[in-house]
Structure 1
Amino acid sequence: MKQLQAGVWTIVFIFFCELTGFAQAQQPVISPSPYFTYGKGLGIISPDSLFMLNIRFRMQNRLAFVSESESNLDIKSVEARTRRLRLRFDGFIYTTRLTYLIQLAFSRADMDYDDTGFPNVIRDAMIQYSVNEHFSIGLGQTKLPGNRQRVNSSGDLQLPDRSIVNSTFNIDRDFGVQFYYNNALQGLNYVLRAAISSGDGRNITSSDRGLAYTGRLELLPFGKFTNGGDYFEGDLAREPKPKVSFGITYSNNQNAIRTGGQLGKFLYASRDIQTNMADFLLKYNGWSFAAEYLRRTAANPITTNEDGDQRFVYVGHGQNFQGSYLFKNNFEVVGRYSQVRPDNDIQTLEEKIQQYTVGVTKYIRGHRLKLQSDLTYEENTWLAGSAANHNNWQLRFQIEAGI
């Protein structure tokens, strides 16, 4: 009997120990809470400070009207849509030197759907490592170091959209390796950027037709702009001293398969495309002036399929001049002149276009919340052929909101 009792107590003891251990295992492990920051978006930092996630969104809701002609003000077309809807994530992983950028697009115009035939949701997917304070290297998909207006975020524009020069000749986004270097030489600040990329644009699954090589140099003779003001339009920082930036870019896209290199419809045969860009920026005490010149060349730019259909590289040049003044009540008046001119090879296929634009912007919370409107007079002139010239008026109103 004593042995049986001892055995029972042994079993009870073992069961109690197991039950206690199970209960302890089921108790939640209390860990430190993450840290939240509220600056440019919503920031979340892990308790061990080895990971940061910053979340931002923005949208552009637009109404636009185009007249039948310069004299007939009846409405020919209406644009009523969400032009851009973006969700952005950025931060660092394990070390502040290893950063990432993810940007997703959800509006049809933002997904390049009409040209590619599929929804291009991913705009940016970039991992970047900072070797030191001057040099960093990145791998992934993001903007190439092109013209200044393209490098500026579409959320940091003075007018509802970029110029026709940018939409015609810019080199946009691509997947590849990018290098960034900034320093100063005897008081002259400069920025060097370079990229080796696929040359075929966003979200192309494979490419064996040739690569694109892009390089850019920026010179800042009067020092750096306040709060990175050379990468947003308008002098919202009200520079107390004049600040100037000169930029030049060269891109060589070998065996390109799209009409704009990284953009546009797919050509019927590949072409080598070269793009040259030069830009200038001045800001001082609320005043801002920017100028750009872009030129694209390609040998034998027109391609044809078996049915005789044509697709071509838009070869030619464009220039854009833009000036503004920001009043102390955060109203801004803007003027812009833009021109794109096709080369002789495609003058029977494309018109020369000139736009004269005046606009006004009310900044409620900087570029994150603003009201924008502009009025444009557009001239369309055929330089060859017998097609009739035509001009029109364009009116746009836009609300931009984001964090």
Structure 2
Amino acid sequence: MLKVFAQNETDERALVRIQDGISLQRDTLFLLNLRLRIQNRFGILLNDVTNTPEFDARVRRLRLRLDGYVLSPKVQYYVQLSFSQADQELDRSNTPQIIRDAILYYVFSDKFYMGFGQSKLPGNRQRVISSGSLQFVDRSLANATFNLDRDFGFFFYYDTDIGIQKINVKTAITTGEGRNAQITSAGLCYTGRVEWLPFGKFVNAGDFTEGDLEIEKTFKLSLAAGYSFNQNTSRTGGQIGGQLFERRDFSTFIADGIAKFNGWAFQAEYFRRHTINPITQNSDGQIAFVYNGIGYAAQLSKFFQPGWEVALRLASTVPDDDIKAVATRFDEYLTGVSRYLRGHRIKAQLNGGYIDHFQPSGRRRDALLTFQVEFGF
């Protein structure tokens, strides 16, 4: 039997609540949800050093997602594949990395479930939010520098209610080498995150979508903090980035929050990363380093019926003194206008602004303008 449903993206859990997409189901023995989304982009970038425009015209994302359950609603699965070149990490591997998520879950109760496989770590909120539920065409530069991304291992999720308040606890023990790692090291990565919703749940899990498209009737707030310790990792960002010449241990602290009311939305994130001796060097004098430092980002938006939104973003990364001789500080200033035709599933977005690069050799400013269309079901 074939039916067409809609489906809400919440966090990294496999979805069994069906509202959108294509679904195949046989009683309580089998459920398969299929979703496809496309992001097509055209952008112009002009820096004040060369004054020569650069163009970015491509399929930014093409994703196929499958989730559901087998044998029982307690045994769930979640698979996500990526097919665009920008999604396959070809900059660090000659082999396309099409597998983004491949994880099995067992649901013990409405309050507790666990997963085994490859999935997003419980890191900062903007990274966990689907790229299809963003109010800008890309996540912030602070996220790009400090996020935990995906990893392979064991994931544990627990939530409880205290009156109207809701508390979510998310933990993971993973390899620390990122998605589709060919080898794993002697160390592991340990990650934990706690979320507090003092005024109850958001409408349609709005604490994991950007913008107040649901137009919350009462003030809603989610505050969270998390910590990740990656032991003996080989990459500059732990689960992401290029290869270090020597393995390192490092820690990442994350705090974030999101608030929504009557079409207004505000979200902010803070990062702190630290390692001892962050700069590594090979025998030829080449260096690779861990970005020790802090990052922060904030976004403010207003949603207007019948589907328009305006948004502002400020973001920055600040390297510590021990890497200032080799690292770049970034300051990002963006404005955005979005037209939502069917929520985040079908939308058009226009972003404009500039990014300042404070490099050891001097300052550079990039002005940018990007148009993107998203279509999904």
Q: What TM-score results when the alignment is normalised by the length of structure 2?
A: 0.94
Cα offsets for 1:352-381 (capped at 9, x unmatched)? 111111110000000000000111122222
Q: Secondary structure at the match of 1:247?
A: strand
Q: Structure 1: how far apart are the matches of 2:262 and 2:39?
A: 28
Q: Which one-letter code corresponds to 1:398 in the other structure? A: Q
Cα offsets for 1:60-86 (capped at 9, x unmatched)? 11111111319x8x5431111111110
Structure 1 residue corresponding to 2:85, chosen from 108, 113, 123: 108
Q: Structure 2: how far apart are the matches of 1:78 and 1:345?
A: 35
> Which one has a larger percent strand, Structure 1 or Structure 2?
2
Correspondence 1:217-236 to 2 at 5 A = 217-236=194-213
The yes-or-no answer on 1:38 pairing with 2:13 is no
Q: Secondary structure at the match of 2:110?
A: coil
Percent identity over the alignment is 45
The yes-or-no answer on 1:328 pairing with 2:305 is yes
Q: What runs of 5+ residues in structure 2 fail to find an aligned partner?
A: 7-19
Q: Structure 2: how far apart are the matches of 1:181 and 1:116?
A: 36
Correspondence 1:153-172 to 2 at 5 A = 153-172=130-149
Cα offsets for 1:280-338 (capped at 9, x unmatched)? 11000100000100111111011111211111111111110100000012100000000
Q: Which one-letter code corresponds to 1:390 in the other structure? A: R
Q: Which one-letter code corresponds to 1:67 in the other structure? A: L
Computing the radius of gyration from Cα coordinates, the structure with the larger value is: 1
CA contact (8 A) 1:116 1:265 kept: no
Q: What runs of 5+ residues in structure 1 fail to find an aligned partner?
A: 1-33
RMSD of equivalent CA atoms: 1.3
Structure 1 residue corresponding to 2:247, chosen from 253, 267, 270: 270
**Which residue is equivalent to 1:258?**
235
Task: Tell me the CA shift for residue 35 of structure 1.
Answer: 4.5
Task: Tell me the CA shift for residue 279 of structure 1.
Answer: 0.5
Q: Secondary structure at the match of 1:236?
A: coil
Q: Secondary structure at the match of 1:262?
A: coil
Q: Which one-letter code corresponds to 2:164 in the other structure? A: G
Q: Structure 1: how far apart are the matches of 2:44 and 2:186?
A: 41
Q: Structure 1: how far apart are the matches of 2:164 and 2:3?
A: 38
Of 350-359 and 248-257, more deviation after overlay is shown by: 350-359
Q: Structure 2: how far apart are the matches of 1:117 and 1:249?
A: 34
**Which residue is equivalent to 2:12?**
none
Structure 1 residue corresponding to 2:39, chosen from 60, 69, 72: 60
Task: Tell me the CA shift for residue 128 of structure 1.
Answer: 0.5
Correspondence 1:58-137 to 2 at 5 A = 58-69=37-48, 74-137=51-114
Structure 2 residue corresponding to 1:365, chosen from 342, 349, 352: 342
Structure 2 residue corresponding to 1:397, chosen from 359, 365, 371: 371
The yes-or-no answer on 1:304 pairing with 2:278 is no
CA contact (8 A) 2:185 2:232 kept: no
Task: Tell me the CA shift for residue 206 of structure 1.
Answer: 3.2
Q: Secondary structure at the match of 1:278?
A: strand
Q: Which one-letter code corresponds to 2:119 in the other structure? A: T
Of 249-258 and 108-117, more deviation after overlay is shown by: 108-117
> Which one has a larger percent helix, Structure 1 or Structure 2?
1
CA contact (8 A) 2:47 2:364 kept: no
Q: How many residues align?
A: 364
Q: Structure 1: how far apart are the matches of 2:47 and 2:104?
A: 47
Cα offsets for 1:246-279 (capped at 9, x unmatched)? 0101000000110100001111110001000000
Structure 2 residue corresponding to 1:211, chosen from 173, 188, 193: 188
Cα offsets for 1:9-47 (capped at 9, x unmatched)? xxxxxxxxxxxxxxxxxxxxxxxxx3534322100012x
Q: Which one-letter code corresponds to 1:96 in the other structure? A: P
Q: Structure 1: how far apart are the matches of 2:221 and 2:100?
A: 30
CA contact (8 A) 1:65 1:75 kept: no
